[in-house]
């Protein structure tokens, strides 16, 4: 479904991704793990078109998307949940969830019911300004906002950052439920969370993939110990 091939990308003159190749199959949960600064978020940003791709291809479905502007990638069905949340704080929860739906043909209620069944707490905050929600609720709202349009691919960045363990477990449950709906690509610092929810894992080191395989392979090969806890 998503295929990155020999991707070289960076911010201006400094390159951060080196010959990166990665694939994500349909209905799969894939995690990218690695230490700080190895290029996890940059990989996601390259997929979304937020950093400059020097060479290499990004294919989504059958389309080559590495030259498309961000909003067109969004329209193809890629949703992004950024690590800094970035909800619209001065409008209500309801409006936050409705903005992505404007212009979509499906009935609003069906869309909202799905995300509200995953995150029932949002219902109680329905008419509250999103800025007054707690950190965990804001995170849920961000995920919900990404999900509400039923994206083909959901890209999540550091969902565990700053969340209580219980909330993280909730999110993990939600992802397992979502597996039948959508494909998930997750960049995660917390190795336990990543191994808990994923089917396959990519371990990154210095802007390139150092190891990839299923969760059990990662455990067998002690990839985490090799590439992360050095």
- C-alpha 217/C-alpha 158 separation (Å) is 23
**Binding of residue 28 to other proteins (CB under 8 A):** no
Q: Whose Cβ is closer to other proteins: residue 35's or residue 150's?
A: 150
Q: What is the three-class DSSP state of 120? A: coil
**Binding of residue 60 to other proteins (CB under 8 A):** no
Q: Whose Cβ is closer to other proteins: residue 91's or residue 215's?
A: 91
Contact window for other proteins (CB under 8 A) among 71-79, 193-201, 203-211, 214-222: 71-79
**Binding of residue 67 to other proteins (CB under 8 A):** no
Q: Whose Cβ is closer to other proteins: residue 48's or residue 218's?
A: 48
**Binding of residue 186 to other proteins (CB under 8 A):** no
| Least distance in angstroms from the C-beta of 66 to other proteins | 15
DSSP string, the chain: -EEEEEEEEEETTEEEEEEEEEEE-TT-EEEEE-STTSSHHHHHHHHHT-SEEEEEEEEETTEE-TTS-HHHHHHHTEEEE-TT----TTSBHHHHHHGGGTT--S-HHHHHHHHHHH-THHHHTTTSBGGGS-HHHHHHHHHHHHHTT--SEEEEE-TTTT--HHHHHHHHHHHHHHTTT-EEEEEES-HHHHHHH-SEEEEEETTEEEEEEEHHHHHHHTHHHHHT--
Q: Whose Cβ is closer to other proteins: residue 126's or residue 132's?
A: 126
| Least distance in angstroms from the C-beta of 29 to other proteins | 20
Q: Which of 69, 105, 180, 225 binds other proteins (CB under 8 A)?
A: 69
Q: Please give the residues from 89 up to 148 whose contact with other proteins meets the rule CB under 8 A.
A: 89-91, 94-95, 98-100, 102-103, 116, 120, 123-124, 126-127, 145
Q: Whose Cβ is closer to other proteins: residue 147's or residue 223's?
A: 147
Residues forming contacts to other proteins in the complex (CB under 8 A) are 48, 50, 69-72, 74-75, 79-80, 82, 86-91, 94-95, 98-100, 102-103, 116, 120, 123-124, 126-127, 145, 149
């Amino acid at each position: 479904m998503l295929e990155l091939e020999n991707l070289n990308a960076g911010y201006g003159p400094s390159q951060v991704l080196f010959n990166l190749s990665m694939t994500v199959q349909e209905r799969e949960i894939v995690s990218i793990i690695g230490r700080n600064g190895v290029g996890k978020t940059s990989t996601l940003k390259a997929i979304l078109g937020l950093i400059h791709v020097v060479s290499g291809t990004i294919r989504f479905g059958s389309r080559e998307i590495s030259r498309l502007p961000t909003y067109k990638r969004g329209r193809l069905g890629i949703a992004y949940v950024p690590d800094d949340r970035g909800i619209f704080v001065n409008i209500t929860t309801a409006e936050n969830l409705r903005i992505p739906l404007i212009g979509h043909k499906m009935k609003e209620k069906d869309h909202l019911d799905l995300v509200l069944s995953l995150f029932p707490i949002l219902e109680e905050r329905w008419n509250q300004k999103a800025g007054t929600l707690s950190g965990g609720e804001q995170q849920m709202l961000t995920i919900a906002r990404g999900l509400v349009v039923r994206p083909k691919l959901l890209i999540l960045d550091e969902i565990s950052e700053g969340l209580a363990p219980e909330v993280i477990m909730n999110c993990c449950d939600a992802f397992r439920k979502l597996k039948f709906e959508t494909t998930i690509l997750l960049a995660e610092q917390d190795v336990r969370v990543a191994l808990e929810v994923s089917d396959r894992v990519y371990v990154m080191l210095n802007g390139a993939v150092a190891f990839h395989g299923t969760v059990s392979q990662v455990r067998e090969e002690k990839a985490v110990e090799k590439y992360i806890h050095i």
